[in-house]
Structure 1
């Protein structure tokens, strides 16, 4: 049975592949930078973030290494599963009480006031109130982010496969070629019967390539979509 996708666990898997030969404490130590941020309530800061700064101070002795991720690891998750990584001021969903409590606890433990919050979520959560697996982060500096809380439902296990073809241009071309080859061999006898030859197959293949690309870009342009690799940090749905 297919299991839902836990993005937090996927981030840990990606990070472990990239840092398995690096001493954890040594790379954690390099990402801290003390700053002052505006003293507002947690919810106000979430709704307006970033207010003042995009880095936060954390006490190295009290951080959880399972919560620290580099922007490159976040990018891979967002591109693979077609998610957005944006400032919380663009987030339209609701924040559960656990989020407020965790931020208060973190600020007390680390003797700081957090700012510059970012969130990983499907693009619809930045326009509609839904509940699909948002992850709230606070920036640490040097490209690193600290995971504060994850809530909502885990992602569908087939989400990565669903959006694989529009991950980037290369994937789209491969998908078009595969679909054209498959369509050609499924329907060649329907069009040509037993008299099909290489020329007939080539013409039919090109017909499918042209047709699939045409329909795809007609829908793509009409709906204003973009490839996952280019829109994971964009707050716009339209092609830029």
Structure 2
């Protein structure tokens, strides 16, 4: 006696026909996609709007603790790497679809509408008033922020050291002193020392004054400022 083999796909299709017509199923799927698209567009619109929201109502038990950061920790990273921490409404680059999906999933999981989005990124990534490695946050209250998504390329490991001289006024002065000492050592002063007392010190002071004058003039005339001053400012020339 031969046993007929069963094609599971055909059986499944047969059961589906009993449940709903193909047209009805397609309409249901179409409605789901349309609803999904509307929700995504609303999220994009929220990201582009200014918001005064200081906190979002999230379910504590569903939070991932490794994504919770205090404002002081964010400030430290911004100052070290010369980044800014500003509203998503002035972020000029495109926010990836993956980030939109994460926001939508988070809203459904916590049964809430998220607002007050903040982004950590280089100054050039924002439409400042007068793209390297952005981070997208939402406020949780009490100066705590929840990291939703990170995108872009990995940051150059040398960036922290490249911008270290302009981290604050102390670093700027120390850098000028070190560079001046280095140039003083390279400057021949043997003959000058015979006729001018403390020739090396005079050369050092002259070089130091010149470096400070030139760099400070360029730095401030270009509307730049120290990392510790700009990390949360939305103005281009400050």
Asked whether the two chains share a fold, i.e. TM above 0.5, the reply is yes
What's the offset of the Cα at 1:53? Answer: 1.9
The question of whether the paired residues in 2 share the 8 Å contact of 1:180 and 1:208 is answered with yes
The question of whether the paired residues in 2 share the 8 Å contact of 1:165 and 1:175 is answered with yes
CA distance in 1, matches of 2:216, 2:173: 12
Matched ranges for 1:1-240 at <5 A: 41-50=42-51, 52-127=52-127, 131-187=131-187, 189=188, 192-196=189-193, 199-239=198-238
- Report the number of matched residues: 194
The question of whether the paired residues in 2 share the 8 Å contact of 1:117 and 1:138 is answered with yes
CA distance in 2, matches of 1:154, 1:49: 29
CA distance in 1, matches of 2:103, 2:229: 31
Displaced runs of 4 or more, over 2 A: 192-198
CA distance in 1, matches of 2:60, 2:50: 24
CA distance in 1, matches of 2:237, 2:53: 28
Query: Which has the larger Rg?
Result: 2
| Larger displacement relative to structure 2 (41-50 or 141-150) | 41-50
Output one character per residue of 1:189-213: Cα deviation in whole Å (capped at 9) or x when no partner: 1xx3455366110110011111001
What's the offset of the Cα at 1:221? Answer: 2.0
* TM-score of the aligned structures, taking structure 2 as reference length: 0.78
What's the offset of the Cα at 1:217? Answer: 1.3
Output one character per residue of 1:88-127: Cα deviation in whole Å (capped at 9) or x when no partner: 1110010111011000000000111000000000000004
CA distance in 2, matches of 1:122, 1:163: 12
In the alignment, structure 1 segments of 5+ residues that lack a partner are 1-39
State the superposition RMSD in angstroms.
Answer: 1.5
